[in-house]
Amino acid sequence: MNYNIRGQRFQVTDALREYTEKKLSRLEKFFEEPIASEITVTLSVTKGKHTVEVTIPLTGVMLRAEEKSEDMYASIDLVVDKLERQIRKHKTKVNRKFRQGSGVRALFKEEGSAVGVLEQEEEDLELVRTKRFALKPMDVEEAILQMNMVGHNFFVFSNVDSKEVSVVYKRSDGKYGLIEQG
């Protein structure tokens, strides 16, 4: 695995770099072949919170996880656990498609004993509610106000400027983001 580990507003020590590489190398067991792409790891400290962001670009899928805690080493452990769960869930989907005849199975290793656990984890993806509503044309600022009024962390609306469906969302840093159709 090829790592790009960098610190944001602080220096990454050799011990921290080695610990990160050691923990992320645990993910190799899930793949048939070594990951050829570069794994990007960003470590940062903001207001006493130690944040670890990991991005692993793969063929047909982008794995990304972020975790925050009071300790950098704990954040690394948490982010690796989150990535393992993502890989297991994605692997279940890929293996199910393969069994149905359409799959790209060569990405993940087949583990017979894990199949039951993986299928059980996928049950977490059950859709429990569907809402329908008319999208009122509005600008981004009005959408943010509406989102805050209803107390949600995202809001879907018809963007009056682009005439497309857009989403505003509240970021973990307290600022806002906008998702538009490409």
**Cβ atoms of residues 65 and 86 within 8 Å:** yes
Q: Which of 105, 128, 140, 98 is nearest to 30 (CA)?
A: 105
**Cβ atoms of residues 92 and 102 within 8 Å:** no
Pair type for strands 38-46 and 2-8:
parallel
Q: Average pLDDT by consecutive 10-residue portion of the chain (182 residues)? A: 87 93 88 81 91 85 88 94 86 66 52 47 67 85 86 90 92 91 79
Domain made up of 137-180: CATH architecture: 2-Layer Sandwich (3.30)
Q: In the CATH hierarchy, which fold is given to the domain comprising 2-125? A: Double Stranded RNA Binding Domain (3.30.160)
CATH 3.30.160.100 positions along the chain are 2-125
pTM over the 0.95 mark: no
Q: Would you give the distance in Å from CA 81 to the centre of its chain? A: 12
